[in-house]
Amino acid sequence: MPRPQRPPADAAPRPAADRAPGIELDALLTVERDGNPRRRHGMASPVLGKLADADFDALETLARWVAAAVPPAPGPTLVVGLAESSLILAWTAHRHLADADLCLSSRTPTGHARERRFREPHSHAPHHHLVVPDREYARVVIIEDEVTTGRTLANLIEQLTDVAPRFDVVTLADLRPLPARRAMRADFARRGLQVAVRAPAPPQCLGRPRPARAVRLPQPPPDVVYAVGERVELPLRLLAATPPGRRPRLRHVTRSPWRVDGAAVQTRLDLGHAADGAPYFLYNLAQAPRSAAWIVGDALTRPVVEALGAALRAGGVRTTTFLDPPD
């Protein structure tokens, strides 16, 4: 497990009131961006699978805190998760909200008539695409791992102002100074939109999640499931449908380019490029021994899936690969 780090000097400290119980500041790891002139440092939670094997029970606990951080809504909720940083947390959290639809952004345009496009200014892959369901919502819940400047958040909300009048944002770390937080809230309020950014808080009651859709996959489950890029839903449905004690661990293979720093990032396995030219990485591979692994990707990331499979088999791990959706 990577050792926790304090934020670097150029990252604002997280206020004590914004910390969730059991997820202290030290549990968010500081990573250094590789080749990103817009943003040198970031924060990442080991619970989400990029830096360490993710335990699904811990992920469920984190998701319950996230869901409990937003007040009840008078109608249906649209939950939005952003590629790739908050896809896993958004999927898990939406199961703990009543009457909630899920919408996950993608780096790849779909051409769908209801697709929205917004910019992430400090990212290595700056455009997101979002297909919004044809339904009226009382509010939108946006799940973020980290809010740095708020520009991505504002760009996303701009594309959803016709979807709902209320936006509840939940983030593990809000690094903006207080004046910036107030300014964004006031700007949207002048336009009749209610925007609140919250960090997880202790819930009064942790409810039971909605059952996950059934998954028909070979048994027994493997030791670990690798979700490549945006293909997180199939692995998460598998984990949710598997009884505790038999659940595989979860790892997330990511486009996030982070430097090896000997602390949060101890090793980096470069897995080559996907069909769209984007590089992919697996961090801190040397963890608990495993004998069997499933790798879930898609047609776009097939070269990455194949490279990861070859690397694992070279270490004596049996691998099964899935393309979701199939070719």
11, part of any domain: no
275, part of any domain: yes
Do 308 and 242 reside in the same domain of the chain? yes
Between 15 and 320, the higher pLDDT residue? 320
What's the structural domain count of the chain? 2
319: number of Cβ within 10 Å: 18
Do 162 and 251 reside in the same domain of the chain? no
Do 73 and 139 reside in the same domain of the chain? yes
Q: Helices 56-68 & 87-94, crossing angle to 10 degrees?
A: 70
Distance, in Å, from the CA atom of 148 to the CA atom of 60, rounded to the nearest integer, reads 25
> Is residue 72 reached through a cis peptide bond, with omega within 30 degrees of 0 on the bond before it?
no
Mean pLDDT of 251-268: 93
DSSP output for 197-247: EE-----S--PPPPPPPP----SS--SEEEEETT--HHHHHHHHHSPTTSP
Do 41 and 133 reside in the same domain of the chain? yes
pLDDT of residue 124: 58
CB contact set of 55 (below 8 Å; sequence gap of 6+): 47, 249
141, part of any domain: yes
Do 193 and 231 reside in the same domain of the chain? no
Do 160 and 71 reside in the same domain of the chain? yes
114, part of any domain: yes
Last residue of a domain, one of 164, 198, 232: 198
What proportion of the chain, given as a percentage, has pLDDT over 70? Answer: 82
HSE-up (13 A, CA, CB side) for residue 139: 19
203, part of any domain: no
CB-based contact 167:137 (threshold 8 Å)? no
Do 29 and 126 reside in the same domain of the chain? yes
What pLDDT digit, counting tens, does each position of 107-160 carry?
A: 988 888 899 998 887 665 578 999 999 999 999 999 998 898 899 999 999 999
Note down the domain range covering 152: 16-46+54-198
Do 232 and 291 reside in the same domain of the chain? yes
9, part of any domain: no
Do 116 and 24 reside in the same domain of the chain? yes
Do 271 and 146 reside in the same domain of the chain? no
Average pLDDT, the chain: 84
pLDDT of residue 154: 94
Assign residue 108 the CATH number of its domain.
Answer: 3.40.50.2020
Which structure tokens are listed for 193?
């939109």
Question: What residues does 23 pair with on adjacent strands?
Answer: 20
Predicted structure pTM score: 0.85
Distance, in Å, from the CA atom of 123 to the CA atom of 241, rounded to the nearest integer, reads 34
Distance, in Å, from the CA atom of 235 to the CA atom of 231, rounded to the nearest integer, reads 8
Do 190 and 253 reside in the same domain of the chain? no
327 pLDDT tier (thresholds 50, 70, 90): low
pLDDT of residue 6: 41
Do 230 and 180 reside in the same domain of the chain? no
DSSP output for 110-136: ---TTEEEEE-TTSSS-EEEEE--SS-
3-7, 138-142, 241-245: range with highest mean pLDDT: 138-142
pLDDT of residue 122: 66
What are the CA-CA distances from residue 188 to residues 163, 193, 228 (Å)? 14, 5, 36
Between 15 and 324, the higher pLDDT residue? 324
Instruction: Go through the chain and tell me how many residues it has.
Output: 327
Between 295 and 214, the higher pLDDT residue? 295
Edge-to-edge, what's the strand order for the sheet holding 292-297?
249-253, 224-228, 292-297, 318-323
Mean pLDDT of 201-221: 55
Which structure tokens are listed for 71?
């007040």
